[in-house]
Chain A
Amino acid sequence: DQQVKQNSPSLSVQEGRISILNCDYTNSMFDYFLWYKKYPAEGPTFLISISSIKDKNEDGRFTVFLNKSAKHLSLHIVPSQPGDSAVYFCAAPSYNTDKLIFGTGTRLQVFP
């Protein structure tokens, strides 16, 4: 079973606060994870990734945390800005092929 799950379809956060987006996966063989951001009528754009040899990766306002024992990762955005309002997808490469498997996405709304 190779699934990536995002159980929160939407999240609303005030500007300046922290946004936390969650992702769970089913297969412990997954060893690399990516977050993509998607604006309406555009393709997904790469945001940040993490390898399973790490438990944290940071890039500016974006930090991804990986908890392998829980098969869980999260994306933290601090501070959140209105321009961060988009749909965020968690993804992982299939362990036995090279295709990326995506979650269903979380729509983040950052309000002033």
Chain B
Amino acid sequence: DTGVSQDPRHKITKRGQNVTFRCDPISEHNRLYWYRQTLGQGPEFLTYFQNEAQLEKSRLLSDRFSAERPKGSFSTLEIQRTEQGDSAMYLCASSLFRGGDEKLFFGSGTQLSVL
């Protein structure tokens, strides 16, 4: 399978716990994005990397959220001290950006439920 892979697919946690999600992009892709989607809404941008550099973070991303892409390959998204409002589908996407129009390829997402 050469698509974007996300792990885990589902995560149930108690409020106040920390969670970490992993994303493996398509191998030759240089950009990696994190989005969050809640019911009835479109995906909302959280952050993105070009290679290992984090180029932009949304204001939605509070101090409890941190993302890394240490070697420019896979990425992790950590949420500390989870809150019920963090319950959402967390989507990862990757792209091969060479300038110009860009097409994102999404993974199947991690569904987070905070109890």
Residues of chain A having any CB pair with chain B under 8 Å:
4, 6, 9, 32, 34, 36, 41-46, 49, 51, 89, 91, 93, 97-105
Contact = CB atoms under 8 A, between A and B. Distances in A.
Contacts of B106: 36, 43-45
A44 B3 CA distance: 12
21 contacts: A41-B108, A41-B109, A42-B108, A43-B4, A43-B6, A43-B109, A44-B43, A44-B106, A45-B106, A46-B103, A89-B42, A89-B43, A98-B102, A99-B33, A99-B56, A99-B58, A100-B43, A100-B104, A102-B43, A105-B41, A105-B42
B97 to A, nearest CB: 7
Q: What is the interface residue range for chain B against chain A?
A: 20 to 34
B40 A49 contact: no
A46 B105 contact: yes
B48 interface: yes
A3 to B, nearest CB: 11
Contacts of A105: 40-42
Given A43-B109, A44-B91, A101 B104 contact: no
Q: Which of A41, A42, A44 has the most CB of B within 10 A?
A: A44
B45 interface: yes
Contacts of A41: 108-109, 111
Nearest to A91: B42
B25 interface: no
Contact of B101 (A4, A32, A43, A97): A32
Contacts of B105: 46
A90 B108 CA distance: 18
A95 to B, nearest CB: 13
Given A42-B108, A42-B109, A43-B93, A104 B42 contact: yes
Contact of B102 (A6, A89, A93): A93
Given A32-B101, A49-B103, A99-B33, A43 B108 contact: yes
Nearest to A46: B103
Given A41-B111, A104-B40, 17 more contacts: A32-B101, A41-B109, A43-B93, A43-B106, A43-B107, A43-B108, A49-B101, A51-B101, A89-B43, A91-B42, A93-B102, A98-B48, A99-B56, A100-B45, A100-B104, A102-B44, A105-B40
